[in-house]
Amino acid sequence: MSKIVPNICKSKKVLQCDTCGKVFKWKSDLNRHLKVHTDERPHLCKTCGKRFRYKSALEKHFRVHTGEKMYSCKLCEKSFTLSTNLKVHERTHTGERPFSCKTCGRSFNQRSTLQGHERTHTGERHFSCKTCEKSCSARQNLQVYERTHTSERPFSCQTCGRSFNQRSTLQDHERTHTGEKAFSCQTCGKSFTRGCRLKVQMRSHKGEESYPCTTCGERFVIKSLLTKHLMTHTEQN
């Protein structure tokens, strides 16, 4: 699977992967990389049976079972089991959206959200529901949709016991108890408990009205306002 090839400076030797051509300085790094091609997952979680390629990935996963949260946000002191989740959360305070769609220019704070969005342009739908065969462009969207068949609500509020089918919906709900307003508008400084309300506020600054009435052409910032407006046409008819 590997061979010795000279590197650019010609004074040292490097190890190269025969499958993809990627080069490594150390044999241990090459061996670690080779698992990507073989799909070898030698590290087993004894709690849930899930397997991992790397021991470090298993150690991070195990925090899900222990509830250990090592990474804390300095702005709101919210804690996370993974450093990557903390980085994503911190962007809700800064408004940073480093991942941009090359097709329409829209930007996102997570790469996975961008990848799901890009499929709306291509029409690609990789993930199908086994119950009704409906397809979704993102795995997490399919998981949420499948709960409409099972009525499963795995995310519970520890304060009032109310349950939800999405973690993000639970997080929004929990802020009604804490009063935390994690989403801030960089234009006017106004803060909101939910990201969707921040988006509406940002549209109002831009003059962006995303929801057109197909009957009269009038446009609205909020979808609920469009729904109320459509009812006026129904009443008139």
Q: What is the mean pLDDT for each group of 10 consecutive residues in the chain (237 residues)?
A: 46 74 85 76 83 83 80 85 85 86 86 81 78 77 82 86 84 83 80 76 67 72 69 66
pLDDT in tens, 179-221: 887 778 878 888 887 777 777 777 777 665 566 777 777 766 6
Confidence (pLDDT) at 209: 54
Confidence (pLDDT) at 180: 80
What are the residues facing 147 on neighbouring strands? none
Domain 43-94 in CATH 3.30.160.60? The answer is yes
Q: How far apart are CA 230 and CA 178, in angstroms?
A: 36
Confidence (pLDDT) at 221: 61
DSSP class of residue 164? E
Confidence (pLDDT) at 133: 75
As given in the structure block, the two tokens for residue 139 are 């795995």
DSSP class of residue 210? -
Q: How far apart are CA 55 and CA 51, in angstroms?
A: 10
Q: How far apart are CA 205 and CA 235, in angstroms?
A: 32
Confidence (pLDDT) at 6: 44
CB-based contacts of 36: which residues, under 8 Å, 6+ apart? 53
For the chain, domain boundaries? 2-38, 43-94
Closest CA to 180 of 193, 199, 167: 193
Q: For tokens 């197909």, name the residue.
A: 214
